[in-house]
């Protein structure tokens, strides 16, 4: 008896989740996940795109 309730309920919940996913894709919710992550970080703490760390002092003045 419980399978007669649980199986249609689980299929219905799966369809609701699938519909929510397609809605999110259609409404550009996954458009720019990296840009949204970097918007909350102040510009002075972003890493250099070249990969060089200019914030450290050189161990020797001639470097």
3-state secondary structure 1-63: CHHHHHHHHHHHHHHHHHHHHHHHHHCCCCCCHHHHHHCCCCHHHCCCCCCCCCCCCCCCCCC
pLDDT at 32: 76
Give phi and psi for 31, each to the nearest 5: -70, -50
pLDDT at 34: 73
pLDDT at 63: 47
49-55-57 Cα angle (round to 5): 135
pLDDT by residue for the chain (63 residues), tens only, comes to 799 999 999 999 999 999 999 999 999 888 877 776 777 776 665 555 665 655 565 565 554
pLDDT at 30: 80
């Amino acid at each position: 008896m419980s399978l007669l309730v649980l199986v249609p309920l689980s299929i219905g919940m799966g369809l609701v989740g699938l519909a929510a996913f397609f809605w999110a894709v259609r409404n550009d919710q996954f458009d720019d996940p990296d840009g949204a992550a970097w918007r909350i970080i102040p510009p002075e703490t972003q890493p250099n795109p070249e990969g060089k760390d200019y914030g450290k002092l050189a161990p020797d003045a001639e470097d």
